[in-house]
Structure 1
Amino acid sequence: MTTWTVGEVMRTDVVAIAAGETVLMAWELLERTGAAHLPVLLPDGRCSGLLDRCDIAVACSAPAVVLSALDVGTLVSGRRRVAVRAQESVRKAAFAMTENGCDALPVLGSGGRLVGLLTASDIVAALVRNPAPGPRAAEGGPIGPFSMTPGLGPRRDDRVNPVP
């Protein structure tokens, strides 16, 4: 992972929305595509920010009169904009995600134009495709999943912990 670039791991099939579109349109777009994140684009193609399902769901809790006039550009204005470039390391991007408490970053090209999206899921998927060598991977045995019950330590035998 330390040598991967964002461009090698990011997704390029990104659904985006224009800054002037309504919050209702953003919700409809998320619902139709199943996307979890929605980059907001300015008329010149530059990325203005990134919204996720929670941001839009909270905005949709406003009265209908407000929703018809509320655009997604308003939701991203005044927010700190965190983004990465395709040539940066995945390690640096993961650090930016951790420091800013986010699980996705828009990937920008020349002039601030959106070229992709890097999510925490993309990083995990890359790790699964290219697992680091280790004792378990070398043995070829199963890595998981393991059943766990919150609050109880894992058992070392084949019995399943009952759920209280």
Structure 2
Amino acid sequence: MAAHRPLERRAVAEVMTLDLLTISESESVLMAWELMCQAGVHHLPVADDEGGFIGVVDAQTLTASWNASGPEQARRPVTALLPPGPQGAVPPTATVAEAARAMVKAGRDYVPVTDDRNVLVGLLTARDLVSGLAGVHRDVAPRSGGMPSLYRIEPVFPAGLPGHPDAGRMGPD
């Protein structure tokens, strides 16, 4: 029945992205970039050390603030890229039209979706809106609760490079 209602009247929970890749506040800008590239995503919710929602870093902000002047810039905490002020979240019961207005007001192509305890439950993006408008339904397994999945990717250095555990050992010929 929900699919027959116009998109703007549907609840955000019906079209939002549920399975989110997140990053910890203690991670670097470089790690955020790597996660976005490897996963092919444009938005990374940032979690505090207890798993609580802090904000969202998007690819546009990351690329606009990228500074290749030295490694210390790449090692800045990802929280340095969070937009100032509140994130303008909406509840999952908000209509798509209300969420779209929040996106326009914030000047962003996403809006965080939080529950009544400010726990992130999803993210509504411009892509979700276009998919909903096109009638494309993406099947996603329901989440078990709490902060969305936090995947951790560790960099792997080729043997022989500084920083690799086997850097001082001779390899086979």
- Give the TM-score normalised by structure 1: 0.72
**Offset from partner CA, 1:48-82 (integer Å, 9 cap, x none):** 11111121123332422322540011221634422
Report what 2:122 is aligned to.
Answer: 116
Q: Does 1:32 align with 2:44?
A: no
**How many residue pairs end up in the alignment?**
130
Unmatched runs of 5 consecutive residues or more in structure 1:
131-164
* Structure 1 counterpart of 2:89, from 75, 83, 88: 83
For the 8 Å contact 1:22–1:67, the answer to whether it is kept is no
In the aligned structure 2, how far is the partner of 1:3 from the partner of 1:66? 47
The CA RMSD over aligned residues, in Å, is 1.8
In the aligned structure 1, how far is the partner of 2:75 from the partner of 2:129? 37
For the 8 Å contact 1:45–1:114, the answer to whether it is kept is no
In the aligned structure 2, how far is the partner of 1:74 from the partner of 1:129? 37
- Give the TM-score normalised by structure 2: 0.68
Structure 1 stretches (4+) deviating beyond 6 angstroms?
none
Q: Which has the higher helix share?
A: 1
Unmatched runs of 5 consecutive residues or more in structure 2:
1-6, 137-173
Which amino acid counterpart does residue 54 of structure 1 have in structure 2? Answer: Q
Range 79-88 or range 6-15, more displaced? 79-88
Helix, strand or coil at the partner of 1:85 = coil
Report what 1:72 is aligned to.
Answer: 78
In the aligned structure 2, how far is the partner of 1:120 from the partner of 1:77? 18
Q: Is the radius of gyration larger for structure 1 or structure 2?
A: 1
**CA deviation after TM superposition for structure 1 residue 22, in Å:** 0.2
